[in-house]
Amino acid sequence: EDQVTQSPEALRLQEGESSSLNCSYTVSGLRGLFWYRQDPGKGPEFLFTLYSAGEEKEKERLKATLTKKESFLHITAPKPEDSATYLCAVQASSNDYKLSFGAGTTVTVRA
Partner 1 sequence: EAQVTQNPRYLITVTGKKLTVTCSQNMNHEYMSWYRQDPGLGLRQIYYSMNVEVTDKGDVPEGYKVSRKEKRNFPLILESPSPNQTSLYFCASSSGPYNEQFFGPGTRLTVL
Binding residues vs partner 1 (CB under 8 A)? 4, 6, 31-32, 34, 41-46, 49, 87, 89, 91, 96-104
**Residue whose CB is less far from partner 1, 9 or 15:** 9
**Residue whose CB is less far from partner 1, 78 or 102:** 102
**Residue whose CB is less far from partner 1, 15 or 39:** 39
Surface-to-core class of residue 23, CB atoms within 10 Å of its CB (0-12 exposed, 13-18 middle, 19+ buried): buried
CB 69 within 8 A of CB 4: no
Shortest approach of partner 1 to residue 17 CB, angstroms?
Answer: 26
H or E stretch covering 50:
strand 45-50
Report which of 54, 37, 55, 56 is spatially closest to residue 46, judged by C-alpha positions: 37
Alpha-carbon span 30 to 45, nearest angstrom: 21
Shortest approach of partner 1 to residue 23 CB, angstroms?
Answer: 11
Shortest approach of partner 1 to residue 18 CB, angstroms?
Answer: 25
